[in-house]
Structure 1
Amino acid sequence: MTIHIAIVGSTTFVETVSHAAPKFDDVRFSHFTYAHPREAADIATQLGSFDGVFFSGSFPYAYASPFLNETIAHHVVQDETVLLTTVLYATLTQKLALDEVTIDVNEPERLHTIFTSFTDLTQPAVMKIHPDVDFSDVFRFHASHQQRDTKLAVTSIERVHRQLLEEGFNSQLMIEPVSTVIRHLEKLIDQVRRHLADLSQFAVVLYASTSASLHEYLRTMRHQGHVEIQDDTILLLTTKGEIVHALEEATLSPRDDDSLIGIGYGTDYKTAFEHARIALSASTEQQLRIVDAAKRLSFPASGETVQYRVTDEIAFDMVKRIGISPLNVGKILGFSKRKHEFTAKDLTDYLGVSRRTTERLIKKLHDGGFVDVIGEEMSYTQGRPRAVYIFKLPS
């Protein structure tokens, strides 16, 4: 599968990437240039479908981010290598002391980290910049200093650099070593590859229904998969990417169908099927349940974030064996870390539920082999003695 990456930056940046980028057999690049970093926002709205977007810096990235939806994006970071390379080049080639230089940077802390290693050096005048900064303020910062006591402006903003030169000031654009640019580009490509590999996982969807209308709906939908009826369920076999898209488009089932749906992801069919079966059997009122390849169970209600995830093997086993909801499993495991032996009242107080609810939970835990009765607690008032339980959880 070919990866399609959009390169967004100034003409100079795009040319640098075009000439220096390694040849990837499975990567295709498209280039988009701007005259002003804020134009990156307009570019983002017109990009269309790309696997990833690579920006020249944090400013165009920040301007474009609100319009990228969920497209993977990365930008060149102004790290210590960039700063040190630029400062060394500027001071050595122009034979200047640091206090004869003005610098604008995204994170002055990185610059100070470099300078603290050289305690005897003078310090440049530094301006912190951010995506909302007025470029005219950055220009005035450099120009005003150079009219008085400095001899060189080092700027991170190409537009400011051009304006300084046009108006007769000495300016040096921040130098991004080609190796730094390529390293960040390769980081984006690796991230895209991992994402695409994740979306190519097996996905099994089990519907708690054998409805002819649901079966026909799934057969005619473009989920790029296989549909069949198995016992009392309808099974859809496809990929995780197809399911993610179907969830986004709300096409996983007809709008008027309220059948329970269990989705399982895995690196092979057997694993995905087992995860789908577990998801379908989970004790919850949510219509849709997902168990991913890492055995995390989630309940992504439409328009809502995932409310709870089971990430612990013990918790996963509880949901699978006795049907306690993940929310209650999490609370019970938290309680077990505080009290190894307990009564129904102890658990009731901790969970903040009714005594009857607690008794039902304890019965499920006992039937599943997660607690044992070890005795009774003597009462000093009238009433039945309280049973004392002990957790039997794997260590």
Structure 2
Amino acid sequence: MSRRQKEGCIIRIRLGLFGADDSLSMIQAVAQEYKEFVCVPVVYWDESEVIDLIRPLASEVDMWLFSGQVPYSIVKQSGEVDAPLFYVPHIGASLYRTLLQAHYTAQIPVSRLSFDTYERREIERLLEEAGIEEPIPYVKHYEGGISAQELSDYHYTLWKQGKTEAAVTCLRTAHLELEKLGMPVYRVLPARSAVEAVIQTIIRTGQMLQAQDAQIAVQMIEVDAMQAASPETFSTDDIYRLEMKTTEKLLRYAKKVQGSLKSAGPGRYVIFTTRGALKEITEGYKTVPSAEETELLDGEVIACGIGIGRTAYEAEIQAGKAFLHAKQSGRGAWMVVFDDGTISGPLGKSVHLRYSLGGGELRQLAERTGLSAATLCKLKAILQKRGTNEIEAHELASYMRIVPRSARRILNQLETVGLAEVAGETNPYPRGRPRKVYRIFL
């Protein structure tokens, strides 16, 4: 049974609430007014602990709502969470409230405040609407994540230089740091209207995912019944009995995923089921089902491809593509091709990639390099997973499950057309030859 269920007409979403102590209680109070949610609140005090706090709950939460863009960006860029992520933006109403507080408590002119997070034009437009005509000289806008230290340094330096009288920050950790330094600081808290708007989006997303779970999925499996044979298995009757046992295991497995089993030729079978059923048994398309779940078939599976589609025909085509990718990835590999053409796998392996076959730009690069679009897409996904555009041939070979010689050929072809350059050398073994490290430009 999926964690996200339908109860009557209400979907139940296990919603992770992640944020600072002063904003999380308000966000939780709003979320708990909706019957759709079971809330899992998590408070953080430092940006460095965000991933460590998220990781243990990654498989227990359907969606995440963050109190601001910094923790949201840290988790999104980590790539460790597949669940939908949302954050509450600090919209105009939030800033209005903070500016009123600064004016009435300390009569500080807007031009003597330093701001972060917002774009300059956003603040100016807000003031124009209020009929306030003052310059906004000090704004530190940033995209994605940022450290509390960097923001507090920005505000504190301006204040020590006598250019400002106080700071306006959207980041709680920066707020606490500036208070320790003795600087006047005002914290912008999320507005209730902004929280409610994001919650409505989360509910619509949950409804969409519920419909998505009902999509048709096709699982294409090739098995080797002789894997279970003993040295005494000689007769055709013995082989037939082994094949029948394998078929019986597949029938029981098909029942577990609420699907129907069809033969697709010697040793090949197709199971028609739903996206939600396969998502559940593979833990969100991350792992291969346990030996018990597959009726002890794991040693007999040569390759498995899962296809998702809007129709049975489309799902079967995608399953065929996934099956071919699984065959290329080694014995026992499971791969998935989703309805948007994205490829994921091998499931359950330490090196698990998710990539698309790309658009026109990658196809043009494929023609230019002589490499396939699939190879370039894999390479792009590998570099994103590693968080760097530098790699050497043995590392690439390990990720792609190819021999180092083939990996060197790929890197040489990229270098030939100007899409890679030698950035240095590494020598993992003192007596071995140095290995070239390539910097890739995709």
What TM-score do the two structures reach when normalised by structure 1? 0.61
Question: What displacement does 1:39 show?
Answer: 2.5
User: What's 2:201 paired with?
Assistant: 187
CA distance, structure 2, for counterparts of residue 26 and residue 168 of structure 1:
43
Find out whether 1:176 has 2:176 as its counterpart. no
CA distance in 2, matches of 1:276, 1:129: 42
Shift of 1:45: 1.6
Checking the alignment, whether the CA contact within 8 Å between 2:94 and 2:188 is kept in structure 1 is: yes
Cα separation, 2, equivalents of 1:261 and 1:138: 48
Is structure 2 residue 43 aligned with structure 1 residue 33? yes
Q: CA deviation at 1:208?
A: 7.9
The 5-angstrom pairing of residues 99-248 of structure 1 reads: 99-105=111-117, 107-108=119-120, 110-112=122-124, 114=126, 120-129=133-142, 133-147=146-160, 148-205=162-219, 212-221=244-253, 223-229=256-262, 234-244=269-279, 245-246=281-282, 248=286
* Aligned match of 1:42: 52
Alignment partners' CA distance in 1, 2:100 and 2:136: 13
SS of residue matched to 2:82: coil
Q: CA deviation at 1:309?
A: 9.1
Alpha-carbon contact 1:224-1:242 (below 8 Å) kept: yes
Change (3 A) 1:259 1:158: closer
Instruction: Give the number of the structure whose alpha-carbon radius of gyration is greater.
Output: 1
Report the counterpart of residue 57 of structure 1 in structure 2.
Answer: 68
What's the secondary structure of 2:41's corresponding residue?
strand
Report the Cα distance in structure 2 between the residues aligned to 1:87 and 1:163, rounded to whole angstroms: 20
* Match in the other structure for 1:10: 20
- The alpha carbon displacement at 1:12 in A equals 1.6
What's the CA shift for 1:52? 0.8
Give RMSD over aligned pairs: 4.2
* Greater CA drift, 99-108 or 171-180: 99-108
Residue aligning to 1:78: 90
Aligned-residue identity in percent: 16
2:74 aligned partner, one-letter code = Y
Secondary structure of 1:249 counterpart: coil
Return the letter of the residue paired with 2:87. H
Offset from partner CA, 1:153-198 (integer Å, 9 cap, x none)? 2112223323433444322101321111222233233323322331
Q: What runs of 5+ residues in structure 2 fail to find an aligned partner?
A: 6-11, 226-242, 328-333, 347-351, 360-373, 375-442
Q: Hey, what's the Cα distance between the residues in 1 that align with 2:79 and 2:336? A: 28
| Partner of residue 336, structure 1 | none
Instruction: Kindly indicate whether the alpha-carbon contact (under 8 Å) linking 2:110 and 2:136 is maintained by their aligned counterparts in 1.
Output: yes
Question: CA shift at 1:138, angstroms?
Answer: 2.9
**In the TM superposition, what are the counterparts of 1:291-330 in structure 2 within 5 Å?**
302=346
Alpha-carbon separation, structure 2, partners of 1:172 and 1:15: 19
Structure 1 contact 55–75 (Cα < 8 Å) conserved? yes
Question: Retained in 1: the 8 A contact 2:69–2:145?
Answer: no
Separation in structure 1 between the aligned mates of residue 31 and residue 345 of structure 2, nearest angstrom: 43
SS in 2 for 1:186: helix
How far residue 43 of structure 1 moved from its aligned partner, in angstroms, is 0.8
- Give SS of 2:28's match: helix
Counterpart residue type for residue 128 of structure 1: H
Distance 1:289-1:98 versus aligned 2 partners, 3 A rule: closer
TM-score relative to the length of structure 2: 0.56
Amino acid at match of 2:186: Q
What one-letter code is carried by the residue in structure 1 that aligns with 2:148?
F
Q: Which whole-Å CA distance do the structure 2 matches of 1:159 and 1:197 have between them?
A: 39
Amino acid at match of 1:141: Y
**One-letter code of the match for 2:202?**
L
- 1:82 Cα shift? 3.7
Aligned AA for 1:6? G
SS at match of 1:46: helix
Instruction: State the number of aligned residues.
Output: 305
> How far apart are residue 115 of structure 1 and its match?
5.8
2: CA distance, partners of 1:200 / 1:239: 6
Tell me the distance in 2 between the aligned counterparts of 1:307 and 1:41. 26
Is the Cα contact below 8 Å between 2:305 and 2:320 reproduced in 1?
Answer: no
- After TM superposition, give the deviation of residue 32 of structure 1 in Å: 1.1
Instruction: Give me the whole-angstrom Cα distance separating, in 1, the residues matched to 2:40 and 2:133.
Output: 47
Does the 8 Å CA contact 1:135/1:160 hold for their aligned counterparts? yes
Check conservation: 1:7, 1:31, Cα contact below 8 A: yes
Question: Is the alpha carbon distance of 1:98 and 1:218 closer, same or farther for their aligned partners in structure 2, counting shifts above 3 Å?
Answer: same
Letter paired with 1:121 = E
Alpha-carbon contact 2:18-2:41 (below 8 Å) kept = yes
**In 2: Cα distance, 1:119 partner to 1:165 partner:** 28
Contact 1:227 1:234 in 2 (8 A): no
Deviations, residues 267-305 of structure 1 (Å, cap 9, x unaligned)? xxxx43x445556788x965699887x7x7777674665
The amino acid of 2:168's aligned partner reads V
SS of match in other structure, 2:70: helix
